[in-house]
Amino acid sequence: MQKRFVYADNAATSPLSKEAFDAMKPWLTEKWGNPSSIYSAARDARKAVEMARADIADSIGAKPEEIYFTSGGTEADNWAIKSSAKAFGKKGRHLITSAIEHHAVSSSMESLTSEGFEITVLPVDKYGMVSPADLEKAIRPDTIFISIMLANNEIGTIQPIEELAEIAKKHNIPFHTDAVQAVGHIPVNVDELKVDMLSMSSHKFGGPQGVGALYIRKGVRIPPLMHGGGHERGRRSGTENVAGVCGMAAALKHAVEIMPEANAHLKHISDRLFDKLLQIPYTQATGHPEKRLPGTVSVVFNYIEGESIILLLDSKGISASSGSACTSGSLDPSHVLLAIGLPHEVAHGSVRLSLGKDITEEDADYIAESLTEVVDRLRTMSPLWKG
Partner 1 sequence: MMYSDKVLDHFQNPRNVGEIEDANAVGLVGNAKCGDIMQMFMKIEDDKIVDVKFKTFGCGAAVATSSMATELVLGKTIDEALQLTNRAVMEALDGLPPVKVHCSVLAEQAIRAAISDYYKRQGIDPEPIVGKIEEVDHDHEIACD
Q: Could you list the residues that contact partner 1 (CB under 8 A)? A: 303-308, 311-312, 315, 324-326, 329-333, 343-345, 348, 380-385
Residue 347 beta carbon to partner 1: minimum distance, rounded to whole angstroms: 9
**Rounded Cα gap, residues 31 and 165, in angstroms:** 42
- Residue closer to partner 1 by CB (options 1, 331) is 331
Cβ proximity to partner 1: between 263 and 302 the closer is 302
For residues 123 and 99, the answer to whether their CB atoms sit within 8 Å is yes
Of residues 229 and 343, the one with the C-beta less far from partner 1: 343
Which CB sits closer to partner 1, 131 or 319?
319
Q: How far is the CB of 364 from partner 1 (least distance, A)?
A: 24
User: Is residue 179 within 8 Å of 198, Cβ to Cβ?
Assistant: yes
CB burial string 314-349: b at 16+ within 10 A, e below: eebebbbbbbbbbbbeeeebbbbbbbbebeeebbbb
Whose CA is closest to 301, among 366, 380, 387, 379? 379
Minimum CB–partner distance for residue 304 and partner 1 (Å)? 7
Nearest one of 180, 123, 115, 169 to 146, comparing CA atoms: 169
Cβ count within 10 A of residue 63: 14
The smaller minimum CB distance to partner 1, of residues 297 and 312, is found at 312
| 221 contacts 91 by C-beta, under 8 angstroms | no
Distance (Å, whole) CA 143 – CA 363: 48
Helix H or strand E encompassing 158 = none
What gap in Å lies between CA 256 and CA 253, rounded to an integer?
5
227 CB-near residues (< 8 Å, 6+ apart): 237
Residue type at 61 in one-letter notation: G
Instruction: Give the nearest distance from C-beta 100 to partner 1 in angstroms.
Output: 20
Report whether 94 contacts 120 (CB < 8 A): yes
In angstroms, what is the minimal distance from the CB of 383 to partner 1? 4
In the complex, minimum distance from the CB of residue 205 to partner 1, in angstroms, rounded to a whole number: 27
248 residue type, one letter: M
Dihedral Cα 346, 347, 348, 351, nearest 10 deg? 110
The least distance separating partner 1 from the CB of residue 332, rounded to whole angstroms, comes to 7
- The 3-state DSSP class for residue 382 equals coil
Amino acid (1-letter code) at residue 310: I
Of the candidates 51, 87, 326, 338, the residue annotated as catalytic is 326
Residue number with CB closer to partner 1 (257 or 345): 345
Nearest approach in angstroms of CB 64 to partner 1 is: 41
- The per-residue DSSP string of 252-314 comes to HHHHHHHHHHHHHHHHHHHHHHHHHHTTSSSEEE-S-SSSB-TTEEEEEETTS-HHHHHHHHH
Among candidate residues 104, 219, 134, the one with its CA nearest the CA of residue 172: 219
Q: Closer CB to partner 1, residue 87 or residue 326?
A: 326
Q: Is residue 326 annotated as part of the catalytic site, yes or no?
A: yes
**Pick 220 or 280: Cβ nearer partner 1:** 280
Enumerate the active-site residues. Answer: 326
